[in-house]
Chains A and B, each alone.
Chain A
């Protein structure tokens, strides 16, 4: 038996008095005539966070959560119920509620198929990251981050720093007999500073993390690096002038600016929108949607990254899915429901925020593969434009394809050189068009540092993004300066 399944039995099933025969009994309640698919999803979640301000760690919290979600799928119909009590009686009640979706479909057959253990190659260690440092070590780590930030520059007036860790164990039991488990660590460190100079006030922040433990993620000097980066960003913004508005050439820096791909392209390529025909990319497989320089993948298999998953929340091992290859739309990201209805398999993108939410097709780590240009050469090719080095959040309207995202660190490009920093620059564009305007792709692919959280239908999941330096010709830049 795998480590993951053994852990899931120990943390989820045994304390609730459940065993394989109870799983059989519950599955028997769910399946039957008219049911195409059913699953049970058990989740055990421990989450802690510590935060520092005014030079001291003043608050901390610890959350204990567990439960199970039960789902029945009949054609395009889904019945769903969940319970935060794992006893057989509570789960059986939830099974009855979920099963009601197919009330026209006949009685439960009570005869599930034999179990077949699934799983993937583990992409992370199963150690509980909450226990990877003692409480006093966590406190001193935050103090170290804060003193490094204050030591960077006398204009630093406020420092806020936080640590958080999640230890999650999931168990998926499916009507096709698959039983699979995963033990997922996640850590995150964040620092944010306020700098004041005269009457000007700016914020800068930096963070990172991944599916590992605090010591593994932080290594020896990561805390200081984060502090330095947060202060650097805030000081850059102190010098910033108002962003110009209008149509300009834009160079996007490597790494986190890959959020452009996530918003502009990624969401529109999620299977549910395409099955329903509500995405601006619907029905366009095989079409040219980008310049031949663009190849974009969704890859859940990168060891230890924030968006990576050994198996998704439906028990499917994550994979590398080519979304766009040399500009041509190749495929969508699928969960089991939408993959089945579109006549393709799941791509290991079935994800859910928790047992209390239904799985949806979601991204893992989405990035563009590197091209051949030197980053300097890309900048040198722009006479007047914007260099966007870092972004805050973004958003997309799937149906119209329009997307937007806000630069948190951006500069004017003048005569092929990076010039003055600008503030308040927002980029807006059309998903199916923007990649066609990519005229240069750098050789400097970077992934982000592990801070992304993606929201869809009210559900948040951790994701990763990345890209090399890119040049996009003629994007609409929103700013106040006409």
Chain B
């Protein structure tokens, strides 16, 4: 690892030097390297072993206020030189933009606490396939209605990301990521087949759920969908189960991202200081959580990340900006070049069962399908599957329906956030109860 780090730093420095030689007034580079493998077993047989080994160099140069970018997977000196040259050539043809440039020097990270993100898994391919076999077997043996399988997959990956720029900044992140997943297919009587899956992901192998538990959950989730049917078109409260609820937060982030705002392309244009969510809602970033999937001490421009409040008591407190979009908007970067870091929607008191009670009669959504989100207007209309809930009790599985509304109203209509937080993503939330949406079916 140490040797790889030294080599990557050399490449970064060579690229920055070349940029200077080609007349760039500033430059920034990212050097990524990673390796790992994945093993898939299916129907009790080994199916695929895939070895991954990737590397890439990305360069952005600034010639005055013009910019150009280039990338390569070839780390030879000649390729590094050609890549920088290609970026500089592009910069000769692009227009000047006073918002272009590196992040301001005083915002760059100066401390690099160990966030414990790198825990390689010393695992042979044989050991990996044994764990995958155990996972798939537990799903297939769970019930005779599990009639087929898409298999179980174990993936382990370790990598290193270096970011450097001509302000003299250099930052290194070493990270690992391991996961086990399983997808199985059920059938009962004449009703059609249903498929569902479950997975566990972590930076540390010992924190993964056991293969048997993952398999059982995949089977349970498939079985409970059997016999799904449409419901009549209606307007009811909708509960988004935690694994799909994070998508609502992703739509929120897309709407307060600088690139959408300066293009006038967001339904949350000019919403700073406004009530965007129902009162009581708190959304914040926690970039320094140890071992978490979305942690980092600097963003993709080297800017120091900070814990910050984005929504307090439902009111929008800040946007999601990198240096360029911040300058376009006359604001300061929020250290979000490359995305958000452990964005968290704080949970209320209710666990999942109590949320069903709070839902009363309506729809529990466990799967979303399609891309029916208009980020300009907030119109939301997606395919869904889940369960009909009567008086707080699950009544029957539902599929081939759509749910529709407008994100503006949906955000303000959040009635509760469950304590069943899904920690498998860089966006963390429990299940979300929205007061009313249109469900279209029969």
Q: Residues on A close to B: CB < 8 A?
A: 50, 53-54, 56-67, 76-85, 94, 97-98, 100-101, 135-136, 138-139, 157-158, 160, 194, 196, 201-203, 243, 245-247, 276-278, 280, 356, 358, 392-406, 423-426, 428-430, 476-482
Q: Given A401-B192, A424-B404, is A135 in contact with B381 using a C-beta cutoff of 8 Å?
A: no
List residues of chain B with CB under 8 Å of any chain A CB.
Answer: 42, 45-55, 67-74, 79, 82-83, 86-87, 89-90, 92-95, 97, 100, 125, 148, 150, 185, 192-195, 228, 230, 233-235, 263-265, 267, 269, 367, 369-372, 374, 376-377, 379-383, 385, 399-406, 437-442
Q: Which of B47, B267, B383, B385 contacts A76 (CB 8 A)?
A: B47
Interface of A is mostly: strand
- A62 CB contacts on chain B under 8 angstroms: 68-71, 83, 86-87, 89-90
Given contact pairs A203-B265, A276-B150, A79 touches B369 in the complex (Cβ within 8 A): no
Q: A402's contact among B93, B374, B385, by CB below 8 Å, is which?
A: B385
Check B192–A400 contact: CB distance below 8 A.
yes
Q: How far is the CA of A277 from the CA of B187 in the complex (A)?
A: 12
- Contacts A78-B48, A425-B381; is A64 near B70 (CB within 8 Å)? yes
Q: For B82, give its contact among A64, A82, A393, A476 (CB under 8 Å).
A: A64
Please state if A406 and B371 are interface contacts (CB–CB under 8 Å): yes
In the complex the two chains form, what is the Cα distance from A426 to B265 in whole Å?
21
Given the complex, which residues of A lie within 8 Å of B89, measured CB to CB? 62, 135
In contact, B79 and A278 (Cβ under 8 angstroms): no
> Can you sample 8 A-B contacts with CB below 8 Å?
A58-B94, A61-B90, A64-B79, A81-B51, A85-B74, A246-B442, A399-B185, A477-B440
Of A60, A399, A425, A477, which one neighbours B195 at CB under 8 angstroms? A399
| A432 to B153 CA separation, bound complex (whole angstroms) | 29
B150 adjacent to A78 (CB under 8 Å): no
User: Across the interface, do B406 and A405 meet the contact criterion of CB distance under 8 Å?
Assistant: no
Contact A60 B93 (CB under 8 A): yes
Q: Is the interface of B mostly helix, strand, loop or mixed?
A: strand
User: With the chains together, A97 CA to B440 CA distance in Å?
Assistant: 51
**Whole-angstrom distance from the CB of B32 to the nearest CB of chain A?**
12
Tell me the complex Cα distance, A428–B150, Å.
Answer: 24
Task: State the Cβ distance, A357 to closest chain B Cβ, in Å.
Answer: 9
Tell me, in angstroms, the Cα distance from A65 to B68 when the chains sit together: 18
Cβ contact within 8 Å between A63 and B371: no
Q: A476-B402, A478-B440 are in contact. Are A395 and B371 (CB under 8 A)?
A: yes
Chain B hits for A278, CB < 8 A: 148, 150, 185, 193, 195
A139 to B92, CA, bound (A): 11
Of A76, A157, A203, A480, the contact of B406 (CB 8 Å cutoff): A480
CA–CA, A202 and B148, complex, Å: 45
Inter-subunit contact B233/A246 (CB<8 Å):
yes
- Select from chain A the residue with minimum beta-carbon distance to B193: A399
For A482, the chain B residues whose CB sits under 8 A away are 233-235, 438
Contacts of A246 in B (CB 8 A): 233, 440, 442
Expressed in whole angstroms, the Cα–Cα distance for A100 and B128 within the complex equals 14
- Taking a contact as CB atoms under 8 Å apart, the answer to whether B264 and A77 are in contact is no
Q: How long is the Cα–Cα vector from A143 to B225 in the complex, in angstroms?
A: 52
A54 to B94, CA, bound (A): 13
Chain A residues within 8 Å of B70, by CB: 61-64
A-B contact count (CB 8 A): 258
B374→A424 contact, CB < 8 A: yes
Chain A residues lying within 8 Å of B235, measured Cβ to Cβ, are: 482
- B374 contacts A428, C-beta separation under 8 Å: no
Additional A-B contact list (6), CB under 8 Å, known A358-B50, A426-B370: A58-B95, A64-B86, A135-B90, A135-B92, A400-B385, A426-B383
Closest A residue to B404 by CB, please name it.
A480
Considering the complex, give the chain B residue whose CB is closest to the CB of A402. Answer: B400
B68 x A400 contact (CB < 8 A): no
A residues within 8 A CB of B42?
Answer: 76, 276
Asked if A201 and B269 make an inter-chain contact with CB atoms under 8 angstroms apart, the answer reads yes
A196 CA / B263 CA spacing, docked (Å): 12
Inter-subunit contact A64/B71 (CB<8 Å)? yes
Taking a contact as CB atoms closer than 8 A, the residue among A64, A397, A481 that contacts B72 in the complex is A64
Q: Would A61 and B68 count as touching, CB distance under 8 A? A: yes
In contact, A135 and B93 (Cβ under 8 angstroms): yes
B201 to chain A, nearest CB (A): 15
Most central of A100, A280, A478 by chain B CB within 10 Å: A478
Q: What chain A residues lie within 8 Å of B380 (beta carbons)? A: 424
Known: A203-B265, A424-B379, A428-B383. A57 touches B192 (CB 8 A): no
Contact partner of B370 among A84, A196, A276, A406, CB < 8 A?
Answer: A406
Contact A100 B125, beta carbon cutoff 8 Å: yes
B381 contacts A424, C-beta separation under 8 Å: yes
Q: How far is it, in angstroms, between the C-alpha of A358 and the C-alpha of B48 when the chains are bound?
A: 10
**Neighbouring A residues of B49 by C-beta, 8 Å:** 78-80, 100-101
The smallest beta-carbon distance between A45 and chain B, in angstroms, is 9
- The chain A residue sitting closest to B192, CB to CB, is A400
- In the complex, are the beta carbons of B193 and A245 less than 8 A apart? no
Contacts of B68 in A (CB 8 A): 59-62
Are A80 and B50 within 8 A (Cβ)?
yes
Shortest distance in angstroms between A424's beta carbon and chain B's nearest beta carbon?
Answer: 4
Known contacts A397-B195, A399-B193, A424-B374; is A59 also within 8 Å of B94 by CB?
yes
Distance in Å: Cβ of B78 to nearest Cβ of chain A:
10
The listed residue with most B CB atoms (<10 A of its CB), out of A50, A66, A76, A476, is: A476
CB contacts (< 8 Å) of A59 on chain B: these are: 67-69, 94
Flag if A56 contacts B95 (CB, 8 Å).
Answer: yes
Tell me the bound Cα distance from A356 to B73 in angstroms.
12
A-B residue pairs, 9 tightest by C-beta: A478-B402, A404-B383, A56-B95, A404-B370, A406-B372, A245-B440, A399-B195, A393-B371, A60-B90
Q: Is the CB of B402 within 8 A of A426?
A: yes
